[in-house]
C-alpha cells in the first residue's frame, strides 16, 4: 500500500542544519536555526529553570493527567504576564487560557477553533510570516490570505499593510505578530498599533495575535503593548503564546491558547468548546514545562532570577544588532544595514538577496535562510568581524 506514497523535501531549515554540521570549515557560522544562542554559541538551560526543575523533582507527587485546559496556575500566570495584573479583561473574567503543546499547539487550537466555530472565515497572514503558520492553518483546512508586510527593499511596508487590512472582509481573522516579527524583525510602533486597532474596529475583524517572544524585544511589558491595547478596546480576540523562547524550554512544549470574549458567559461557552478541541487533538497537554513556569512565577526569588536572565538575553541580542551595524561601517555598509539595529527579536531580514546568501555559504561557510533572514543570536564577539568582512565581500 505504501508504494504510491511520494517523498517530499524536508524542512529547508533542517537541510541547513545538516549542511552546517557537514561543513569542515572551523570558522563556519550558523545564522539559520531559530533558537537563542549565548556568547559561546550554545542554548543553555536558564538558571531559574534548572532551579525550578530541582524543586519539582523534590516535590512533584503525581504524574496523573492535568486536564484538557492544563494547569490553572500556569494559565493564570500566563494571562497576567500577557495582559497585566491590572487588566480589566481579567477582572471581568473574560479571558480563557488553554495550555497547549508549545506555541505551535496553541496555533493549531486557534485554527481548529476558527474552523469549527467560525466557519467561512478566512485568516489573513503577513507576507512574509513564520512559514509554519501556513502549515498549521492549512492542515486545519482554513482559507488563507495575505497582507503585505515588507516592500520591495525588504523594509516594513506599514502603509501597504494598513491599506490591505482596510480591504479585509468584515469578520475575517487577521494574524498579527505581537513583537519580534518572524522572519523580518520589523515591529509596529505604539502609533502603528493604534492605527491597526482602528481598522480592526472599523472592519470588525477578529485579531489572532501570535505572542512567541515576550521579553525578547524591548521587555516583558513593552512587548505586550499591542496585545494589551487590542484587549483593552475589543470585545473579542484570540492570542497564542509560547514559553519556548522566553523560558528557553523549547522541547518541553509549553504554550497557551487564549480566547477573550465579550463577557464571562460567552467566555464559558468558548472555553467548553476548547476543552473538546484539545481533547480531540492530544487529550491533555504535557505537564513538565508548565510546572517549571508555574514554579518560577510562584517564587519571588526564581521570578527575579528569570527576569534577570531574560534581560541578559534581550540585551545581548540588541547589542549584537548595533555592534553588527558598527562593524559594517569600515566597509561603508552601515547605512545599508542600519535597519538591523532597529529590528527586534532574534530574527533579521537583512536585505541580503538569495545570491548573497548562497555566496556567504559557499565562500565563507556562513549559513542563513535563503530569504536573507539571519538569527542575530548566532553572532558573537569572536565571529562578528568575520561575518561582516564576508558580507562586504559578497555584496560588492
Ligand atoms: N510563532 C512564531 C512566530 C514562532 O516564531 C514560533 C517558533 N519559532 C512559534 C510560533 C512556535 O513556537 P513553539 O516552538 O513554542 O511551538
- For residue 204, the CA-to-ligand 1 centroid distance in Å is 27
Whether ipTM tops 0.90, in short, is yes
Task: For each of the domains in the chain, give its residue range(s) and CATH number, in order of start.
Answer: 10-44+314-395 (3.90.1150.10), 65-298 (3.40.640.10)
**Interhelix angle 264-282/102-117, nearest 10 degrees:** 110
Catalytic residues: 130, 210, 245
pTM: 0.97
Q: Whose CA is nearest to atom 1 of ligand 1?
A: 212
Note the pLDDT tens digit of each residue in 268-306.
Answer: 999 999 999 999 999 999 999 999 999 999 999 999 999
Find where cell 543570536 sits.
377
| Predicted local confidence at residue 273, as pLDDT | 98
- Give pLDDT tens digits for 224-249: 999 999 999 999 999 999 999 999 99
Ligand 1 touching residue 183 (CB < 6 A) = no
pLDDT, tens digit (0-9, with 9 covering 90-100), for 315-372: 999 999 999 999 999 999 999 999 999 999 999 999 999 999 999 999 999 999 999 9
270 lines ligand 1 (CB under 6 A): no
100 lines ligand 1 (CB under 6 A): no
pLDDT of 152 over the 90 cut: no
Buried b (16+ CB within 10 A) or exposed e, 47-83: ebbebbbebeeeeeeeeeebbbbbbeebbebbbebbb
* Confidence bin at 138 (pLDDT 50/70/90): very high
On the question of pLDDT at 82 being above 90, the answer is: yes
The answer on pLDDT for 17 being more than 90 is no
Length of the chain: 396
Amino acid at each position: 500500500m505504501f508504494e504510491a506514497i511520494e517523498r517530499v523535501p524536508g524542512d529547508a531549515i533542517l537541510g541547513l542544519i545538516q549542511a552546517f554540521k557537514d561543513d569542515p570549515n572551523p570558522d563556519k557560522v550558523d545564522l539559520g536555526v531559530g533558537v537563542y544562542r549565548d556568547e559561546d554559541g550554545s542554548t543553555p538551560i536558564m538558571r531559574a529553570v534548572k532551579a525550578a526543575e530541582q524543586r519539582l523533582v523534590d516535590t512533584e507527587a503525581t504524574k496523573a493527567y492535568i486536564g484538557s485546559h492544563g494547569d490553572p496556575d500556569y494559565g493564570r500566570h500566563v494571562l497576567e504576564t500577557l495582559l497585566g495584573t491590572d487588566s480589566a479583561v481579567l477582572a471581568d473574567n473574560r479571558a480563557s487560557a488553554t495550555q497547549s503543546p508549545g506555541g505551535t499547539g496553541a496555533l493549531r487550537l486557534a485554527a481548529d477553533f476558527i474552523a469549527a466555530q467560525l466557519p467561512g472565515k478566512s485568516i489573513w497572514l503577513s507576507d512574509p510570516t513564520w512559514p509554519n503558520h501556513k502549515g498549521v492553518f492549512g492542515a486545519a483546512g482554513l482559507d488563507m490570505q495575505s497582507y503585505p508586510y515588507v516592500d520591495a527593499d525588504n523594509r516594513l511596508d506599514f502603509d501597504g499593510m494598513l491599506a490591505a487590512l482596510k480591504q479585509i472582509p468584515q469578520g475575517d481573522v487577521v494574524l498579527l505578530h505581537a513583537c519580534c516579527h518572524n522572519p523580518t524583525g520589523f515591529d509596529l510602533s505604539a502609533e502603528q498599533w493604534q492605527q491597526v486597532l482602528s481598522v480592526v474596529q472599523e472592519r470588525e475583524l477578529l485579531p489572532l495575535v501570535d505572542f512567541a517572544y515576550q521579553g525578547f524585544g524591548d521587555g516583558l511589558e513593552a512587548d505586550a503593548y499591542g496585545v494589551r491595547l487590542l484587549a483593552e478596546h475589543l470585545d473579542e480576540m484570540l492570542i497564542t503564546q509560547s514559553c519556548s523562547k522566553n523560558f528557553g524550554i523549547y522541547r518541553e512544549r509549553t504554550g497557551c491558547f487564549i480566547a477573550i470574549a465579550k463577557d464571562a458567559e460567552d467566555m464559558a461557552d468558548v472555553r467548553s468548546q476548547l476543552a473538546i478541541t484539545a481533547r480531540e487533538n492530544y487529550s491533555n497537554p504535557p505537564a513538565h514545562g508548565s510546572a517549571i513556569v508555574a514554579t518560577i512565577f510562584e517564587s519571588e526569588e526564581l521570578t527575579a532570577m528569570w527576569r534577570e536572565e531574560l534581560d541578559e538575553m534581550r540585551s545581548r541580542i540588541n547589542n549584537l544588532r548595533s555592534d553588527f551595524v558598527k562593524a559594517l561601517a569600515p566597509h561603508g555598509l552601515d547605512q545599508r544595514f542600519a535597519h538591523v539595529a532597529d529590528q527586534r527579536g532574534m530574527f533579521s531580514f537583512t536585505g541580503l538577496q538569495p545570491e548573497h546568501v548562497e555566496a556567504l555559504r559557499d565562500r565563507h561557510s556562513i549559513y542563513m535562510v535563503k530569504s536573507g533572514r539571519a538569527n542575530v543570536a548566532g553572532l558573537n564577539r569572536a565571529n562578528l568581524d568575520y561575518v561582516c568582512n564576508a558580507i562586504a565581500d559578497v555584496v560588492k
